[in-house]
Amino acid sequence: MSRVPDDGPDRLDGEAGVSVLNKRRATLATTALALVAIGWGTVPPGQGNNPQLARQAPTHPATNPLAVTGPRLPDVEAPSAEALDSALRRGVDFLLLRQNRDGSWGSARNTKDLNIYAPVPGTHQGFRAATTSLCISSLIDSGDDRPEVAEAIDRGETWLRENLPQVRRATPDAIYNNWAHAYSLQALARLIRRHEGDPQRQEALRELMRGQLDRLTRYECVNGGWAYYDFDFGTQKPAGSTISFVTATVLTAFHEAQAVGLEIPERLVERAKASILRQRKPDFSYCYGEYLKYLPMHPVNQPGGSLGRSQACNLAMRLWGDTSVTDEIVETWLDRLIARNGWLDIGRKRPVPHESWFAVAGYFYYYGHYYAAMCVELLPPEKRPRYQDHLATILLALQEKDGSWWDYPLYDYHQQYGTAMAIMALVRCRHS
């Protein structure tokens, strides 16, 4: 969360003040306003909030050769079921060990001298809620039936019920809370299924979900979709740049929440899809955010920079009916992620966001693999084992001695969210 797992900043230089990327953003915003003023804007004035615009948004043809060109991987030896089970148990044990006394996971403890912009206390309320939600989801997904796991899930649920309603954005420009709202919807959906046969408890959880949906409605960007910063305007309704993968994260959470009875407004979904389409390139790489759509060849927007984002964006668009995200495109981007994994891995554990090749930040690593594992589930059963085996081989090799996985030092949240995402990815690497 670029984030939890991606809540790091859009800073290419690591400075505490205005970053190089934010300066570019300001220039792009000024340019875009000027273009609109003279009639060259891509969205005519007054149409940004029109839900009909989403249905008219341009799509890229699936037959574009750039969309289905890339490495094709050979099979890899499948890790044993015992190796998978052992890694999952060690990951679960790590989360049990690191759960806070109050039932949450993560804290504001500083784990490095350099850290991201994080105004208190709102930032850490959002980070902790998002991390806790991910950990609950991973413990449920793990299928570990030990009593201590069930107890940890129950304690986490109690913390969410008591603390989620208080999560808001930290300041007008810091909207990290969107990660909490999205990932809590997924955790609550799993908890509802877990409490099958207890309709009163399920309804209480649905009411909590409605509150999170209300927050996401409030913090939706004026042109649709979601972000985690609004440096440009800082208005009550965020008016800054939509971020492609934040929007994809929310849409994926919406899909899971809808499956357990939460009514998702069509207008929210259509506007969000339109914002992602505005950032999608013909090869199905996705711009980091709308503020960079006029710099399509910026390193972060190239395929090497989009390896983690494309998995989440392809998944979200496919779940919500975008037929241009074909199986062939899903496979092409899974192949790219695996064959070019080094581009993401070079950024893994680097303390400064976006300092690596293709401006990749470390926090894209387990985020990208988590959503890649869900992309595998989109494919026909006979096509899944090859990708499951590759993803499992990658993740098993990266587990730390203490049983955790982590990719970017973020206060005291990174080991917890990294482990949660790795567990949820590995669970999906088991052959049916």
Q: How confident is the model over 54-77, as pLDDT tens digits?
A: 334 445 555 688 899 999 888 999
CA distance 32 to 36: 6
Could you give the number of structural domains in the chain?
1
- Burial (Cβ within 10 Å: 0-12, 13-18, ≥19) of residue 148: exposed
Could you tell me which residues are beta bridge partners of residue 289?
243
pTM metric for this prediction: 0.86
Give the mean model confidence (pLDDT) for residues 151-175: 97
Residue 373, Cβ neighbours under 10 Å: how many? 26
pLDDT of 22 above 80: no
Listed range (43-52, 163-172, 326-335) with the worst mean pLDDT: 43-52
Give the pLDDT of residue 111: 76
Give the mean model confidence (pLDDT) for residues 82-106: 98
Q: Is residue 9 part of a domain?
A: no
Give the mean model confidence (pLDDT) for residues 178-204: 98
Give the pLDDT of residue 56: 40
pLDDT of 276 above 50: yes
Give the pLDDT of residue 19: 41
pLDDT of 372 above 50: yes
Residue 101, Cβ neighbours under 10 Å: how many? 6
Q: Is residue 71 part of a domain?
A: no
pLDDT of 45 above 70: no
CA distance 398 to 400: 6
Tokens representing 201 are 């408890």
Instruction: Name the band, by pLDDT with cuts 50, 70 and 90, for residue 113.
Output: confident
Q: Are 308 and 286 in contact (CB under 8 A)?
A: no
Q: Are 337 and 307 in contact (CB under 8 A)?
A: yes
Listed in sequence order, the residues at least 6 apart from 339 whose beta carbon sits closer than 8 Å to its beta carbon are: 70, 71, 73
Return the closest-CA partner of residue 253 out of 164, 190, 162, 333: 190
Give the pLDDT of residue 164: 98
Q: Are 273 and 317 in contact (CB under 8 A)?
A: yes
Give the mean model confidence (pLDDT) for residues 76-89: 98
Q: Is residue 345 part of a domain?
A: yes
Residue 1 in 3-state DSSP?
coil
Q: Is residue 249 part of a domain?
A: yes
Q: Is residue 15 part of a domain?
A: no
Residue 233 in 3-state DSSP?
coil
Q: How confident is the model over 208-250, as pLDDT tens digits?
A: 999 999 999 999 999 999 999 999 888 999 999 999 999 999 9
The residue among 52 and 81 whose pLDDT is bigger is 81
Q: What is the mean pLDDT of the chain?
A: 88
CA distance 321 to 254: 13
Give the pLDDT of residue 63: 60
Q: Are 177 and 168 in contact (CB under 8 A)?
A: yes
Give the mean model confidence (pLDDT) for residues 14-33: 37
Q: Are 430 and 84 in contact (CB under 8 A)?
A: yes
Q: How confident is the model over 290-308, as pLDDT tens digits?
A: 999 999 999 999 999 999 9
Return the closest-CA partner of residue 205 out of 165, 173, 237: 165
CA distance 218 to 240: 14
Could you tell me which residues are beta bridge partners of residue 171?
174
Q: Is residue 261 part of a domain?
A: yes
CA distance 181 to 164: 8
Give the pLDDT of residue 18: 34
Give the pLDDT of residue 10: 37
Give residue for tokens 């992309």. 375
Rounded to 10 degrees, the C-alpha dihedral 312/276/360/240 comes to -130
Crossing angle between the packed helical segments 327-339 and 307-319, to the nearest 10 degrees: 160
CA distance 22 to 192: 41
Buried-exposed string 5-39: b where 16+ CB fall within 10 A, e elsewhere? bbbbbbbbbbeeeebebbebbeebbeebeeeeeee
Domain, as residue range, for 290: 20-33+81-427
Backbone angles phi, psi at 243, to 5 degrees: -110, 125
Give the mean model confidence (pLDDT) for residues 257-277: 98
CA distance 349 to 361: 9
Say which CATH number the domain at 115 has: 1.50.10.20
Radius of gyration in angstroms for the set of CA atoms belonging to the chain, rounded to a whole number = 20
Tokens representing 95 are 């989360």
The residue among 22 and 293 whose pLDDT is bigger is 293
Give the pLDDT of residue 432: 81
pLDDT above 90 covers a percentage of the chain that reads 81
